[in-house]
Structure 1
């Protein structure tokens, strides 16, 4: 009678920790958005430092408000892209879960993508609230925790690829 492995060996990897990281990103993202939605009126801004404000902003488009004034179809388009990306990322995590930096990058992008998909499904727009600005240069477009996770994940992809190329 064959015995089942209850605990995976060190050589095998699971996607569970990576999905846990993505879930943590989703939770932090949604909790911060709920907090901002409950404590701010749309467009309200609170100065925190000379270069950072909290503000309640809505983005019906994608990054940097791309296609935000396109009549509403973009909500479904970006929701579909987010869901498709999440499915593909889970596939990649199953295939490459032992590659730590690559899996970190995938997990961060997965959590961010799902966080923004949740917003599109619940509200019809993405809730943004982090507003950085520099005197004389103006305001960077407002963003959120999900966007931050996606950007950090993208940076890790680049770093991982540079490391791979240099080997």
Structure 2
């Protein structure tokens, strides 16, 4: 569980730091667009009031989306706490929870999620923007699908070799 919480903490911190840096320190809120690597990476200010790609942005879903993100985060943390999962499952859970909480903070503070990363390629104009939290949520969800079934090996007590009342039947002790 510790790995999940630390991963979530660092994702949350990096997400909020990058949003502050780009939106406020670089003034993207006023500039609206800034080329970083022309033709490949730019910062485009977008306030996402909906879900992915701005879906349902016309509806006032702020508090419902905050509640949903918190409920999913809590469910993932409970699941990891109970079942453990392997190392990659715990990291994936931290990515998802840290990203979700980063976007929750945006919705509480601004009423929308601050999206600013825009990647284009090969002359195709990508109209969508995203943020570090979105990347973490995506990677965390994919990771939980791929690694969520892994079970961590049960922890053995120091000095306990498995022999005793729970030893396999039909074997003899020396």
Q: Shorter-chain TM-score category?
A: 0.7 to 0.9
Which of these two proteins has the greater Rg computed from alpha carbons?
2
Alignment of 1:28-107 (within 5 A): 28-38=14-24, 39=26, 40-42=28-30, 44-49=32-37, 50-70=39-59, 72=60, 74-107=61-94
Aligned-residue Cα RMSD (Å) equals 2.0
1-structure distance, mates of 2:4, 2:45: 30
Q: Which runs of 5+ in 1 are unaligned?
A: 1-14
For the Cα contact (< 8 Å) 2:14–2:132, is it kept in 1?
yes
For the Cα contact (< 8 Å) 1:22–1:108, is it kept in 2?
yes
Task: Quickly say closer, same or farther: Cα 1:133–1:162, change in 2 above 3 A.
Answer: farther
Q: TM-score, normalised by structure 2?
A: 0.78
**Alpha-carbon displacement from aligned partner over 1:76-127 (angstroms, at most 9, x marks no partner):** 1111100101111110120133521211111110111111011111110000
Q: How many residues align?
A: 148
Larger mean Cα displacement after TM superposition, 16-25 or 47-56: 47-56
Q: TM-score, normalised by structure 1?
A: 0.81
Q: Which runs of 5+ in 2 are unaligned?
A: 152-174
Task: Quickly say closer, same or farther: Cα 1:43–1:69, change in 2 above 3 A.
Answer: farther
For the Cα contact (< 8 Å) 1:112–1:150, is it kept in 2?
yes
* Residue matched to 1:114: 101
More helix by share: 1
